[in-house]
A and B are shown apart, each in its own frame.
Chain A
Amino acid sequence: MPQPEKFICIAYPQIDFLIPSNYVASSVGVKDLNLSLLSDQESGFFDFDEIASQFIQIPRESDIKTMIVMKTEGKKHLSILTTQECKVSTIDLREFGLFSDFYSEQFKKLGFLACSFKEDRLRILMDVKQTIEYMSNCLLEEL
């Protein structure tokens, strides 16, 4: 029987983003951080609110942000920052539904691996690095 897995859950209205905890090195609360000074490709800091705001409204802004430092191969640093609530959730892998074979490759390119629905909320299991890479490529194409 598959064991439940631990995930870092970033809770936005209607949608939770799940990051497998074994991909996370650490997380810490930070206050009064001016992300605009840090947020670029080179720094490795990414505003997760900005990613989420592509498709959902973010109701509250907070001075306190949670910084989630991802485990990375090599020396390149990658951290995401969010103003929304973060918690550790234990979820049975059987609760996840997969995208159909027809769509799975496309969603994988976006960094979306699987979904779970709970109490009128969508929980997206995501590959943060892939999502950021996709976003960065889109930005480069726009430029």
Chain B
Amino acid sequence: MPIHPFVLYNRNTMAEEILSLIKNVKIEKTEEKQKDKKAIWLIFTIGEKRFAIPAEKVKEILRDATVFPLPFVPPYVDGVLNRYGDPYVVINPAALEGYEAPQSMLFIVLNDESHSCFRITDVQDFFTAAEKDVVHFSEAELSEFYEGTLTINGQDVFVLKVQDIIQKVGKEIAAA
């Protein structure tokens, strides 16, 4: 008996739909697991403000490195410092956000391929929290530089959008 092409088409569609649903459930499950997964956060200050970034994004903390200024860069790029002979771009998050902080000599070297670091004031603590503990800003409060906040010992700490900040620097260096 010949198979009716309409039936075959429907069966295929049904199979694809079920597979797609199963895939979506799997993705959601992985995302939930990811949110529940505890991460270590580095808590630091820039001026008086407290910030957090995942510790896995930190390669090293440098003290007392000389920062060499560069021309034609945005005002929030302080220049470059010497890390084992390679130039690392020094980003000043305080200047990026438009407030003044004391010119410290402490730097977080980021654990990525961009060779960037943040000038910070002090390292405070390491804190364990899950991604779901980050309170994300609402649409109205959306910030260019912050994911949201983490509550640590009753105080809100801003979570920096490291990747977004690096992307901004990359875009604006030669556009200054």
Contact = CB atoms under 8 A, between A and B. Distances in A.
Interface of A: 14-15, 51-52, 54-56, 95, 97-103, 105-107, 109-110, 112, 115-117, 120, 122, 134-135, 138
Contacts of A95: 85
A100 B174 contact: no
A135 B170 CA distance: 19
Interface in B91-109: none
B89 interface: yes
A117 B83 CA distance: 10
A97 B85 contact: yes
Contact of A117 (B71, B82, B170): B82
The 8 closest A-B pairs by CB, nearest first: A100-B115, A97-B86, A122-B68, A54-B71, A109-B174, A102-B114, A117-B82, A106-B173
B115 to A, nearest CB: 4
A141 B161 CA distance: 32
A138 B175 CA distance: 9
Given A97-B87, A117-B85, A103 B71 contact: no
29 contacts: A51-B71, A54-B71, A54-B72, A55-B69, A56-B69, A97-B86, A97-B87, A98-B87, A100-B86, A100-B114, A100-B115, A100-B116, A101-B113, A102-B116, A102-B166, A103-B89, A103-B114, A103-B115, A103-B173, A106-B174, A107-B174, A110-B71, A110-B173, A115-B86, A122-B68, A122-B82, A134-B72, A135-B72, A138-B72
Nearest to B114: A102
Nearest to B176: A138
A106 B68 contact: no
B42 interface: no
A105 B174 CA distance: 9
B43 interface: no
Nearest to A53: B71
Contacts of B173: 103, 106-107, 110
Nearest to B166: A102
B174 A98 contact: no
A103 B110 CA distance: 14
A106 B170 contact: yes
A99 B87 contact: yes
Interface in B159-174: 166, 170, 173-174
A15 B68 contact: yes
Contacts of B166: 102
A115 B72 contact: no
A126 B166 CA distance: 24
Contacts of A135: 72
A138 B80 CA distance: 22
Interface in B49-79: 66, 68-72, 79
